[in-house]
Structure formats: C-alpha cells, structure tokens
C-alpha cells in the first residue's frame, strides 16, 4: 500500500487535503469519486516510515518532529491531563502543516469515541505499525505515558544505530569519489595532452604508457556515448530496484559484501529484536509482535525470512527454534533468545540482544575504518603514481637519448 495526499472538494463545498493509502493512484481516485468527492489532485506522500524506511528530506514528518511529539505527549499525560486536552495543546505547538492536519483529524476521531491507536492507524503508512501497536498496549494496560516513553527510547536507540552506520560509510565514500575524480581528471585532461608530444619524437613508449594513452583516448573520443550509456544504465537499475523482488535481491547481495555485509546483518538483528522487545514489554502477544516487528527490518531479505516465523509460532513452535529455522541469525542470537524463553523474560533478553548487536556494530565499524582508510589511501596513491609514472618514463627515455646523441 502507498501513502497519498489527495486534495478534494466535499459535497458541502469545502476543500480538504486527505492522507490516504491505496494500491495505486487510480484506485484511490475511483474510491474518492465513489464517496462523492471531487478530486483536484493526488500525489504520493512520504510519511513516517519508522525504521523500515529511514527519514529523508522528502518526507513531510521528520523523525525529530515525531520523537518530540511523543515526548511532549508522554509528559502531558504523566502530568494528569486528559487525552483530548493533551491533543489540543499538541495541536497548538505543531508548525508542520501536514502533521497539524493529520493531528487535527486524529483529535476529532478521538473526540468522537475512537481509540487513539485506531485514529493513528487510520492514516495507514504515514505512521509505523509498531507505533499504533504500542498505543494499543498502553490503552489496554492504562499506562499510555509509559508506553510512549518506551517507544521514544526505541526510536532514539534505533536512529542512533542507523546514524552510526551511515556516518561510517560517508568517509570511505568520499575517499572513493575523490579517487574517481582524480583518475578522470588525469585520464581525460592531463594524459591526452602528452600524446602529441610523444608522437612528435616518434619514440618507443613503455607498455604502461601505451595502455594509459589508449584508455585516455578511448574515453575522450567516446565520452558522450559512455556518459549516455552510464545514465541509461543507472536509470534502468533505479527502475528495476523499485520492484519488490529486486529490493530483496539487492538486500541479499548487500549482506554478502565484505566488511559491510556483517554490519548490515547485525543492524537487521538489532532492528528486529529491539522492536520485538518494545512490543512485548508493552503487553502485545508474541505472534502479533513478531508480525509487526518483521516489518521494521530495513533489509527485505531478512524481513522475508522472518515472515514465516509467525506461522510457526502460531502453530506452537518455540520462537527460538523458529528463528533458527530461518538461517538468518547467528547462533549467539538464537541462544540468547532461547535463554529468554526458558527464563520467562524474553522481552528483556531481546533488548540485551539489540544492545549487544549495537555494540558489535560500533566495534566492526571502527575496525573497518581503521583498515579501510589506509587501504583506500594506498590504492589512491598507487593509481595516481602509476599514471604519473606512465607520463614521465618516456620523457626520461627521451632525455637519455638526447644526451647520448651529444
């Protein structure tokens, strides 16, 4: 299901913007017309995607806004204010137009008698399933503010782990981009300028120089074709990667990468166990919690592997053995989950697994940076040195030949 923002005209003549979910834009358009709305415009909305879809600049409700909202709501509830009064206060503090419209609709639904969890769930994918499930747990237990605090902690810890992974990848990516730009500058600008100089002396060139001159001339002569092919290939890959099956294949490939593969595997483990531990702590049944938590995993390959666990647990199988059956998690994770089941404190053990995974991610990232930085710098220096050597070697030969002539 995709989240859309629809600008419609009502039967009373008002113009409203609705946040709704549907399979396609055409399906939503037909649905709105069937309800008597006049449809002005429909566009995709990038709402809160929880941990499954990291918050990006295109999204209308940022992680910071959503976290702050829940912190403030928990504080107001703890102070003893009624829920409707809390929502009224929160509405006054919202500056984001989309969040304000959505919160107004939620407030009206709560005032009409709908549960807060159902009001948030009615906005589909704009809010993550784990959030509405946490609200259900809080409503049933009567400790909504406690559940909100637990969810805020979950958001902060998960986002902190994600930021560590992203930050660790920025520096190697920068080094690699610098290397590519330096190589392109030498191949397309510097080396071809020496071709005419060498031809004027009709000198026998070293094989290294011949190879680099051939590559440089080929790139320069076919730059338009190569650029067009690269753009077309990138566009094709982008469209192909948007397919659900392709996303799982890409995520599976990522898990096989050296250095990065184990990090992303640990990140998926952290996402699953932390989300599951949060839901179980709130009183959500295990089967429902697994189903919701599987959707919080950003790696679709592992998420797909976890999906069958729901049926196995529903049939009476132990969660640890069902998780082991997927083959997607380490023996240590399985054993810690098994201990949690045997001691009757699965939620706490799952939080411990997530904390351990986060620590292991940080250790692996530090080790990766310690190894990768000198390797990339060495490779960059070797490549530039090789190119410069291919230019100066023939010049040294020409200078020696000139001296011999005298």
User: 207 CB contacts (<8 Å, ≥6 apart)?
Assistant: none
pLDDT at 298 (0 to 100)? 82
- CA-wise closest residue to 118 among 99, 143, 136: 136
What are the percentages of helix, strand and coil residues in the chain, rounded to 5?
75, 5, 20
Query: Is residue 406 classed as helix, strand or coil in its secondary structure?
Result: coil
Cα(205)–Cα(92) distance, integer angstroms: 76
What digits encode the pLDDT tens for the residues 187-236?
Answer: 788 777 777 677 766 667 778 788 888 888 888 888 889 889 999 998 99
Q: Are 381 and 279 in contact (CB under 8 A)?
A: no
Q: Are 296 and 137 in contact (CB under 8 A)?
A: no
- CA-wise closest residue to 269 among 360, 339, 156, 152: 360
Cα(112)–Cα(390) distance, integer angstroms: 78
What digits encode the pLDDT tens for the residues 372-406?
Answer: 778 877 887 887 788 778 777 777 766 766 566 55
pTM of the model: 0.68
- Between 383 and 329, the more confident residue is 329
How many other C-beta atoms lie within 10 A of the C-beta of residue 115?
15
- CA-wise closest residue to 390 among 157, 129, 187: 187
Query: Is residue 37 classed as helix, strand or coil in its secondary structure?
Result: coil
Which region among 46-60, 348-362, 367-381 has the lowest average model confidence (pLDDT)?
Answer: 46-60
Q: What is the dihedral of CA 378, 382, 385, 391, to 10 degrees?
A: -160
Q: What is the dihedral of CA 356, 359, 365, 371, to 10 degrees?
A: -100
């Amino acid at each position: 299901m995709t989240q859309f923002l629809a600008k419609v005209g009502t039967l009373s003549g008002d113009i409203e913007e609705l946040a709704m979910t549907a399979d396609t834009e055409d399906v939503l358009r037909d649905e709105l017309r069937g309800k008597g709305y006049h449809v002005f415009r429909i566009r995709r909305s990038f709402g809160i995607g929880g941990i499954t879809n990291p918050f990006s600049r295109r999204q209308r409700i940022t992680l910071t806004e959503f976290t702050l909202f829940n912190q403030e709501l928990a504080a107001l509830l703890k102070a003893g204010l009624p829920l409707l009064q809390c929502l009224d206060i929160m509405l006054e503090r919202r500056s984001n137009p989309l969040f304000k419209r959505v919160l107004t609709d939620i407030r009206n639904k709560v005032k009409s008698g709908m549960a807060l969890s159902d009001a948030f769930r009615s906005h589909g994918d704009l809010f993550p399933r784990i959030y509405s499930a946490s609200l259900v747990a809080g409503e049933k237990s009567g400790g909504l503010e406690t559940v909100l605090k637990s969810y805020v902690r979950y958001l902060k810890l998960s986002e902190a782990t994600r930021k560590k992974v992203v930050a660790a990848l920025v520096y190697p990516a920068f080094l690699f981009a610098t290397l590519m730009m330096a190589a392109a500058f030498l191949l397309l600008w510097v080396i071809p300028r020496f071709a005419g100089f060498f031809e004027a002396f009709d000198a026998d060139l070293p094989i290294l120089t011949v190879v680099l001159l051939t590559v440089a001339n080929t790139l320069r002569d076919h730059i338009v074709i190569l650029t067009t092919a690269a753009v077309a290939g990138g566009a094709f890959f982008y469209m192909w990667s948007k397919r659900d099956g392709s996303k799982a294949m890409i995520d599976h490939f990522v898990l096989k990468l050296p250095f990065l593969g184990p990090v992303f595997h640990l990140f998926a483990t952290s996402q699953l166990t932390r989300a599951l531990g949060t839901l179980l702590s709130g009183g959500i049944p295990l089967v429902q919690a697994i189903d919701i938590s599987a959707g919080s995993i950003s790696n679709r390959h592992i998420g797909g592997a976890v999906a069958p666990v729901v049926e196995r647990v529903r049939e009476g199988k132990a969660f640890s053995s069902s998780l082991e059956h997927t083959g997607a998690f380490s023996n240590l994770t399985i054993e810690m989950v098994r201990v949690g089941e045997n001691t009757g404190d699965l939620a706490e053990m799952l939080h411990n697994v997530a904390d351990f995974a986060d620590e292991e991610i940080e250790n692996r990232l530090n080790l990766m940076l310690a190894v990768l930085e000198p390797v990339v710098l060495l490779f960059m220096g070797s490549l530039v040195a090789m190119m410069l050597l291919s230019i100066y070697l023939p010049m040294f030969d020409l200078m020696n030949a000139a001296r011999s002539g005298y």
